[in-house]
Structure 1
């Protein structure tokens, strides 16, 4: 159970492509990210990625009206029915074709998918158990080109679809007598969106050239009549009517007279549409493609997004402009409005940007953006609360591991970031870049307070900071040197030369002032920082060194080399202690255009990143592969392999040649089906005519660029082509007993609690290792008896209680109660715990992270309350002073009035 890490969250990317959706309550945004789905809770400021993945990138998501079910469809046409309540997959289905959009009916009984030039209506899965969740009801034909959008009427009687052939089609969800289908024209470009008016069949249709057409229907939804059945159904109904007529002979005349009404209804004719108005968005003459739109029927709000990054808010049907704003210079791919109509979500696939805009107050509710290019490096803060990532786009982002949001982005680097690291205080981030600078960022004031440069311009490939935080070192890629600076003064202290190839990795010994540098010259050099920076040892390798790292206690060194080996060294004696052959564990996949198998490709692959676990007993390794391997260091065996992605939209995923992709013209990957288009927008090369096949088309190759274990040991993170993946220990779903025998049951635990035998109850609860039972046993102990119970706990159970307390701090509200438990355990067992400091370090860091997070929240609240109390006291004192001065002021006024009256009397007497 020690290596039962499961996928926990996806950071670094917030939106890729597809449609955005708001949840039923309107407080969360559902965003497709690659082949996964992330839910951003806007009320609680937290992001959560569902533990499921499709085989290709997600193309569209359909949400049920009650918000409990979601249909997720990928680029290959495979659909997954997901329960958002229990976060699990209920059903798999394949639509046998590329699906553009999916939409549930407002009553939740049916849903429609647009596939090719047809629309298919399915029976939606209900609350009862069914043999097949998706049952095809009808297939609707009409458009000549691909269908693009769907919308339903409020009563689920009809739906409308738009097409690229510039037509809009209205279909009846039932067999209506006066509406089978209705085609609408009037546009000169592909239809982007179409919407019904509330409680009406009136329509709005929008085309890509920025034209809005308003259509009026002469029939109300309640006037739609069901078509009379024909064939064997009609014969069956006729027999039933005859039987009823025989039973009701006395009412035959009245029923015959009543049959004259259908002829009058036929005079009304079929449903007809007429165009009321036609509006243009590009009034100034600048041509701008409309790419996304959303309409809120209750408040009549239309939101439109354009290829230039501008969005408009209009009130329909008068087409009054409410607001217009530019959010970026990239096209807006998706727009969504929440149920109350207050928040609008925008997705930009070009920048990987997700915005939630509150249009009434004109403020951002959420503004998140991932790295534009791939992420290269990451680092955990010492308490495990934050993650910092650096990307090829030159940005440095700091993420909160609890909420999953990026709260600061540094853009000072002008080229790709190659290395990031935290200092031991956790408030300074040091980064290296290809622009020839090493920068230090302050997380208190969010600024770049140090910039380290070299005498000659050089490109830095890696960076490291010693345990004191005073010495910063960076390795050069072109001059083969290592530069050492002082953090305090910013001055260059020394330049370490000796390597004959680019420096690929640097790492400081956590316990000593020893710097290890790995290079492509097949050596690892150990430098003594206190002894004039001379070379202490040189470790000779059999191949180029790609990564180097120290064990947390500094007693071992691990090096990854180009021949797929991981070698372990004793840094004190410069002796190799072991090696691991990892070529067969990489299992690199073949690319689409490769003519060799993955087995032969693996010969040239190697691990490019290494990381020790928090206890130092195992090591994580990753590289140009979809697998991350955990090895046991002492036994030198593979413990577990994690597949970071199953997304076939990435390259180098399949191991064998897929014969289905071979056509008579060659490999399907060589045939560019898009013809130079990306989501309908032409992207030709400079000087290439429209329709030419010379557009850029490529698939990113799956790879792991950096791995880091959390200092708490509870999770690890990896920067990959998919984003920043976090794997954590999911202990809630696992039963992992400890020293359990048949006499220990939950009933015995509760019986011991009733008899107030708290120590025995806690020991039995921790043997069962069920979180609810452990919480019940701990919280049953009276506050005054915590010290006695803590002193009677065996040493073996103190570790488990501390680990449970650390995890309880994140979910429980009994903050003071658990703090007392923590204090008593550390005070009473502190001396015994010191002897096992190495094993207990992850637990103590996990505890520190949980308490530090509460300290930050409570300290802000206390500062705010203290300010309010001081303000209230100052106001009350000021009012008290005014009241005390009021009698004096009244006496002075009385005396002044007496003096005035005497003066007037005196003046009158003299006259």
Structure 2
């Protein structure tokens, strides 16, 4: 459905392994340290915590969903899968399987969940019985010269395919079917069966020898009855270059299709067991990974390129992808909301500008014209143009409707732009330079350079236009903020002197206040009309910056050098968001100048500067383990970061990105705010569907009373009562019970207080509902009757709601259009086929009337009627 969802589940380290139950209700997430979390995908909540105490390589549920296998080191652990009943310990260990001599890499189950195979780095594949079988306990398969990457069972069989890292495929045939596995009986039960068959126990020494020979014959028969494998085929993938190792593979059992991904970016599609090459494609040169599962019909599979953060859903029959998602290759540094709050544009260090849909979470357009880091992005007031500045010396304007770069602004001399801003009319574009200390002003219509604002003595760090007047505020490292009048010959109106370098500046939405973040950790508020400071906030203690691994000072002393690097006012201007070199985002009350709340953007200890205290487990007699390089000599045994270096040495063996917030922005609707961080683009919203939020609730309003009023056909009262309870299913039931011809009457008598809530519900329900005309009628009548009042009272609310209704209507329009065209083409085909048969019939020699009456050739009307019955939407 082209939507993504983020689970409200966090772990203390990076998630490295995911196991999904066959019914899709449960998921097991395991991080780098072996801590597992059992998550319900229905309620989006954590059910159980468990720790494996070692890194886990793979998790795989059995096809029946009753068990799952976890591999760590060289051991495979079989657990009972948690069921619907509440249990004290959801992870119950059933068996432990020892066999491989090296780390395990892959798990696959048979279709009936009787056996599973485990691949290992010791070049062997082990087949284990999930239950106690008499003729299969474990079986080891060799034949490879490199580590096993994947192993797959054939459908309904014990036949096996194994693939190794050097690009070798071995096909193994088993002499026993799945039905031929015999359960192992307990020793007491086996003796009882022998007694029932009349087998007497031997007595004396003479009989003891006979018993021994009988046992040897029995052991020989058991060995003959054991499961045996034989290799029936061995194939090699085509190698292109030396570095072309096999990285991943996926197999669809019903269609016998094998997909393999290689380190050079190539992935192949083969048909097994004949090993016929169907398709071969190359990605962008990075190692690609193939997911462990096809779609249900086997026509699509997922290709992941970890080096680019790219996800592709590839349809191999049409040789095209039906879904493509890719984030920023490097960290994001800036973002901006569209005027209606439906889209977010981000710029990153990889030189790309991406536009995201806030409802679906998908990136739907990427601009790649920049050749260096993007430092700033912004929307114009109309939302039709996206502006971006870059270190490549250009400011580019992108058409948001045609998705093209239609204007490029440059300076007379090559310079690196650090920020970009446009005025409320969208006619003036300004960009600050970080090497020439000037502000460049262009015209959007002509693209000409209008003026160069000189006066700063340091790099320009931030720009902000007054939303009401044509006044530009520029912040610089020269400890000043200058106000420029755009209509008065670009002259300096005021100069605000600070105590430290200015890092960020922003105007309040009404333009009557200015906030500035400086290098000393303070946020100062100014009256731009009188150039008077009205207040300040000391935010250094609220940052609580963590201690880096290579720091030799405490987190408290490290925070003294930290400061806020981005500011943003809320939509009402009463609060201000601040973020910087810390894992916290602080929201302050501007008038009271107090901290209202702190948001922790991440608790991931895999990032640097997260821990506030030293970890005793990582301390040695020589100091912290992070400071010691084991491969270096005694004199050069300490690896320290250079001063001012943020990204670290990319060639080092151990690298942890530092946690930080690079940009903040509030939504124009005031319901959410977004932040670009080391973790990616995060959006925090006030909306929550899991919270019970009644509205003007009385004791007499219950679901039974709502149904009673609904039966009495008092539809307006029923709608008001349902919205007071604020239960989604009840609201949907009440609205759909209103007759179509009475929608106008109900909308006319609906109180103004409930019009906004009904519109919000219609906008969200229209995305998934099948009653298109009914809900569109509701939306049309509400907007026709109450649109002017809503526009004058709350214009910020009306625009995003109407945009959401339009988006839902557009998606339904294309889907209905597709089915209507499909029906029309099928009807035309049926008519043409019937006419062709009629022409053939008329061309044949005439027969008797009885033969013509008994003919089975359908008429045009009959074929048309039958086609309409089968194909009409």
TM-score by shorter chain over 0.5? yes
Distance 1:290 1:795 in 2: 64
In structure 2, what is the Cα distance between the partners aligned to 1:674 and 1:647?
28
Paired residue for 1:599?
556
Mapped partners of 2:129, 2:813: distance in 1:
60
Give the structure 2 partner of residue 168 of structure 1.
125
1:798–1:825 contact (8 Å) kept in structure 2 = no
1:268 matched to 2:228: no
Which residue among 647, 650, 656 is the counterpart of 1:699? 656
Q: For residue 483 of structure 2, what is the aligned residue in structure 1?
A: 526
**Greater mean deviation of Cα atoms: 737-746 or 154-163:** 737-746
**How far has the Cα of 1:80 moved from its partner?**
1.2
Q: Secondary structure at the match of 2:5?
A: strand
Map 1:333-372; keep pairs closer than 5 Å: 333-338=289-294, 339-372=296-329
- The CA deviation at 1:771 is 4.7
Q: Secondary structure at the match of 1:601?
A: helix
Deviations 1:437-471 (A, max 9, x none): 00001122221111101111111000001111110
- 2:287 aligns with 331
Instruction: State the partner residue of 1:6.
Output: none
Tell me the alpha carbon deviations over residues 86-122 of structure 1, each in whole angstroms, 9 at most, x when there is no partner: 2222111111101111111222222111111211111
1:46 aligned counterpart, secondary structure: coil
Between the aligned partners of 1:634 and 1:792, the Cα distance in structure 2 is 41
- In structure 2, C-alpha distance between the alignment counterparts of 1:278 and 1:333, rounded to whole Å: 23
Residue deviations 1:622-646 (CA, integer Å, cap 9, x gap): 1111111222222222222221111
Name the counterpart of 1:17. Answer: none
Indicate if the aligned counterparts of 2:666 and 2:672 stay in contact, CA closer than 8 A. yes
- Matched residue, 2:617: 660
| Match among 580, 604, 608 for residue 651 of structure 1 | 608
Question: 1:825-853: CA deviations, max 9, x gaps?
Answer: 535736xx74x5xxx34323332432442
Give TM-score scaled by structure 2 length: 0.84
Q: Secondary structure at the match of 1:599?
A: helix
1-structure distance, mates of 2:231, 2:92: 36
Residue in structure 2 matched with residue 844 of structure 1 by the alignment: 798
| Residue 383 of structure 1: how far off its partner (Å) | 1.2
Deviations 1:246-294 (A, max 9, x none): xxxxx876999xx999789536243332222222114567552111111
Partner of 2:394: 437
Q: Is the 8 A contact 2:332 2:677 kept in 1?
A: yes
Q: Is the alpha carbon distance of 1:608 and 1:85 closer, same or farther for their aligned partners in structure 2, counting shifts above 3 Å?
A: same
2:262 is the counterpart of 1:309: no
Question: Is 1:92 the counterpart of 2:49 in the alignment?
Answer: yes
* Runs of at least 5 residues in structure 2 that lack an aligned partner in the other structure: 202-213, 633-649, 830-873
Cα distance in 2 for residues equivalent to 1:556 and 1:806: 35
| Structure 1 partner of 2:777 | 817
Q: Helix, strand or coil for the counterpart of 1:444?
A: coil
Q: Which residue of 1 aligns with 2:843?
A: none
Q: Deviations over 1:660-704 (max 9, x none)?
A: 2224564233467999xxxxxxxxxxxxxxxxx974421001111
Per the alignment, residue 12 of structure 2 pairs with 55
Q: 1:491 aligns with which of 431, 448, 456?
A: 448
TM-superposed deviation, 1:427: 1.5
Q: Indicate yes or no: 2:383 matched with 1:423.
A: no
Q: Which moved more, 1:700-709 or 1:721-730?
A: 721-730
Q: Which moved more, 1:423-432 or 1:162-171?
A: 162-171
Which residue among 289, 292, 300 is the counterpart of 2:256? 300
Structure 1: segments with no counterpart, 5+ residues: 1-43, 246-250, 676-692, 876-911
Cα deviation, residue 502, structure 1: 1.1
Report whether the alignment pairs 1:623 with 2:623: no
Q: Deviations over 1:573-593 (max 9, x none)?
A: 222222222222212111122
SS at match of 1:139: strand
**Equivalent residue, structure 2, for 1:41:** none
Give the Cα–Cα distance (whole angstroms) in 2 for the partners of residues 666 and 388 of structure 1: 44
Q: SS in structure 2 opposite 1:555?
A: coil
Task: Return closer, same or farther for 1:741/1:567 CA change in 2, 3 Å cut-off.
Answer: farther
Q: Distance in 2 between matches of 1:485 and 1:75?
A: 50
**Structure 2 SS opposite 1:818:** helix
Whether the 8 Å contact between 2:554 and 2:613 is mirrored in structure 1 is: yes
Alignment of 1:513-662 (within 5 A): 513-662=470-619
Structure-to-structure mapping, 1:38-77, within 5 angstroms: 44-77=1-34
Matches of 2:238 and 2:743, distance apart in 1:
73
Q: Secondary structure at the match of 2:541?
A: helix
Q: Is it true that 1:320 corresponds to 2:276 in the alignment?
A: yes
1:709 to partner: Cα distance: 1.5
- Equivalents in 2 of 1:176, 1:774: separation in Å? 56
1:354/1:369 contact within 8 Å kept: yes
Q: Note if 1:826 corresponds to 2:780.
A: no
Equivalent-residue separation in structure 2 for 1:755 and 1:270 (angstroms): 74
What's the CA shift for 1:174?
2.3
Task: Give the equivalent residue in structure 2 for 1:206.
Answer: 163
- Tell me the distance in 2 between the aligned counterparts of 1:509 and 1:711: 16
Q: Distance in 1 between matches of 2:302 and 2:97?
A: 31
Match for residue 642 of structure 2?
none
Answer whether contact 1:383 1:848 (CA < 8 A) is retained: no
In 2 relative to 1, CA 503–841 (structure 1 residues): closer, same or farther, beyond 3 Å?
A: farther
Native 8 Å contact 2:766 2:809 kept in 1? no
Equivalent residue for 1:710, pick from 662, 667, 670: 667
- Identify the residue that residue 124 of structure 1 maps to in structure 2: 81
Contact 1:791 1:828 in 2 (8 A): no
Asked if the contact 2:243–2:263 (Cα under 8 Å) also holds between the matched residues in 1, the reply is no
Asked if the contact 1:790–1:824 (Cα under 8 Å) also holds between the matched residues in 2, the reply is no
Deviation at 1:766, TM superposition (A): 4.9
Quote how far apart the aligned CAs of 1:312 are: 1.2
Separation in 1, partners of 2:180, 2:408:
74
Q: Secondary structure at the match of 1:49?
A: coil
Aligned residue number for residue 888 of structure 1: none
Residues 204, 567 of structure 1: alpha-carbon distance in 2 compared, 3 angstrom cutoff: same
Work out whether 1:380 is the aligned partner of 2:337.
yes
The answer to whether 1:289 aligns with 2:245 is yes
Shift of 1:388: 0.9
Cα distance in structure 2, aligned partners of 1:106 and 1:774: 39
2-structure distance, mates of 1:673, 1:826? 73
Counterpart contact for 2:460–2:474, Cα < 8 Å: yes
Query: CA shift at 1:124, angstroms?
Result: 1.4
- Cα contact 1:606–1:623 (8 A) shared by 2: yes
CA deviation after TM superposition for structure 1 residue 489, in Å = 0.2
Question: What secondary structure does 2:378 align onto?
Answer: strand
Distance across 1 between alignment mates of 2:474 and 2:155? 68
Q: 1:61 to 1:573 in 2, by over 3 A?
A: same
In the TM superposition, residue 127 of structure 1 has moved relative to its aligned partner by: 2.7
Separation in structure 2 between the aligned mates of residue 547 and residue 71 of structure 1, nearest angstrom: 42
Helix, strand or coil for the counterpart of 1:732? coil
Q: Matches of 2:583 and 2:65 in 1, distance apart?
A: 39
Which residue in 2 is equivalent to 1:37?
none
1:816 is paired with a residue whose SS is: helix
TM value normalised by structure 1: 0.81
- How many residue pairs align between the two structures? 794
What's the counterpart of residue 224 of structure 1?
181
**Residues 409 and 442, structure 2, Cα contact 8 Å, conserved in 1:** yes
Distance 1:806 1:275 in 2: 60
Identify the structure with bigger relative contact order (alpha carbons < 8 Å, sequence gap 6+). 1
